[in-house]
Structure formats: structure tokens, C-alpha cells
Amino acid sequence: MRRTLEYESYGARLQVGSSDEGLLLAADERVRSCLLGRLKPASAGPFDIVIDLSREQGTFTMDRNGAYLSSGDNEHTFFKFFDAIVRISVAEYARGLVFLHAGVVGWRGKGLILPAQSFRGKSTLVMELVRAGAEYYSDDFAILDRKGFVRPFPRPISMRTRDGKFDTYELDANELGIVADDHPLPVGMIFLTEHRPKARWRPQVLTTGEAILETIPFALPLQRDPQLCLKVLNRVAANAIIAKSPRGEARRTARLLLDFFDRTLK
């Protein structure tokens, strides 16, 4: 018999259903851990996200909002994908908040946001910034509110091996440095960077319009609520410095970036 579990997280309403009780319990555990426990039961619909899970003859299948999403026979991989889908879906449907795909640290009482796609070295740079004394906020999402403040989402830092296999492993940020509690910070800087071999560090400050344009691709609710996205990004850009530069090795970049932050925002 199909059973469902309902949640609300950051205003997004999520339902997970399955007729496989073992699968449902595993999914429940995963939802709670991937959202850092920042959720509460939702009593009734409608739901923004409906995920259906099934398992037949060793093959796992996932649908989202009535459409087939993925299937596979490796349970570990399947639930890692489920983890990503839950987080991204909540980020997409959160109410009154704009989730950017970004690393975030706190420095001198302000937020430093690092938007980047996967495989661009974002988590490595966040790790080095925390080692250099910055406060860990997230290596996954910058959660921006309407006032232009950034909230923490301090999940374990997700790293990839550099042996060409890109296997993932997690770092506990508590072992590296200070991890943010729940207090939001005003955004001081958004810095767009990615690792390139032999890159030359040369920060270029952007105009407000250029800054929003370059940040837009990382805004997860863009398709659903473009008005909110642009409004919040405009608010942030009006009060923060937004700059970009390619970067080389992460440890050195962390020191250069914090120095640039200090000089620009003094």
C-alpha cells in the first residue's frame, strides 16, 4: 500500500511517497539529513514537489511531479541523487528566499558569497577560506532573504578526489574552523571565480547590472519566481561589492581573496 510523508522546508512543501516501506523510511532519513533537520511536518497539500519512489527487481525508480526522473540499480548512487533532488527542489520552491548555488563564508561580520557550478573548485576554496579563519556558512547554497542578508546552510563540505575518478567524500567543517550558528549576515561581497591552470589573479569589480547578470545563472528559483530573484539580487548588489577573477591554487587564493575583501570594504 502506498504511503506518503509530507514536509515543509523554507516554505517549500514536499511529499515523498512509496509503496515500499523500507524505501520510504530510508528516504525519510535522507530528507532530514540533507536539509539539516530544517523542516517540519506538513499537514495537507497542495505540494510543490511530489517525489515517488519504487523498487522492482533490484531497480530503483524516481518520479518527480508525475514525470520520470531517474532509475538505477545502485542504492547508494540512487539515494545520493535523491539527496540532490530534494535539496535542489526545496531551493527552487522556497518562499520569500532566493537560493544561489554558492559557497558562503563569513568574514569581518559580512557574508562572502562564491557562486559556481559543479567541478569549478568552489568547495576547495571554501575549505581554504575556513582554514584561513573565515566562518563556514555553506559550500552548497547561499540563502538570501528580502533584506539582502545571507543565512547559513552548513552541511558537511562535499569534496571530490583529484585522482581523475572524482569520488566524493565529506569534510566536517567543525574540524577546520568556525561553523556559523543560525545568524544571518549582510552580504559584503559576491565573488565569481573558478579554478584554471596558470590563472592570473586580477579582480575586476562589476557594475550592478553586470553583477546581477552574472549571478542569475546560479539562482535556483529563477524559473519559478524571476521577479523575486531579480529583486533580491538587486538589493544585494546595491549594497555589496561584486567582482570576478579566475584563480589558481586555492590556499593562496583564499589569502588573496580575504585581502581583497578587506581592502575593498574597509
Partner 1 sequence: MQTNPKARQNGLVVQDMPGEVLVYDLDTNKAHCLNSSAALVWRSCDGTRSISDIVREFANSGAGTVSEDFVWLAIDQLQENKLLERDIKPHFAGQSRRQVLKTIGLASIVAVPVIASLVAPPSALAAVSCTCSTGGACGTYPAGQCASTNNCNSSGVCAP
Min separation Cβ 228 and partner 1, Å: 10
Q: Which of 207, 239, 255, 262 binds partner 1 (CB under 8 A)?
A: 207
DSSP letter at 94 equals -
Measure CA 226 to chain center: 18
Q: Which of 5, 30, 55, 81 binds partner 1 (CB under 8 A)?
A: 81
Q: Which of 107, 137, 191, 218 binds partner 1 (CB under 8 A)?
A: 218
71 binds partner 1 (CB under 8 A): yes
Residue 21 cell numbers, joined: 516501506
Handedness of CA 24, 26, 27, 29 (dihedral sign): positive
- Cα–Cα distance for residue pair 90/86, rounded to 1 Å: 6
Residues 107, 150: contact at Cβ < 8 Å? no
Q: Could you say which residues in the range 87-106 bind partner 1, by CB under 8 A?
A: 88-89, 91-92, 101
What x/- string results for residues 116 through 135 when contact with partner 1 is judged by CB under 8 A?
-xxx----------------
Q: Which of 167-194 are b and which e, b meaning 16 or more Cβ less than 10 Å from the residue's Cβ?
A: eeeebebeebbeebeeebbebbbbbbbb
> DSSP per residue over 209-227, as a string?
HHHHHHHGGGBTTTTT-HH
Q: Could you say which residues in the range 221-250 bind partner 1, by CB under 8 A?
A: 221-223, 226-227, 230-231, 233-234, 237-238
The residue ranges that bind partner 1 (CB under 8 A) are 60, 62, 70-72, 74, 76-78, 80-81, 83-85, 88-89, 91-92, 101, 117-119, 160, 164-168, 207-210, 212-214, 216-223, 226-227, 230-231, 233-234, 237-238
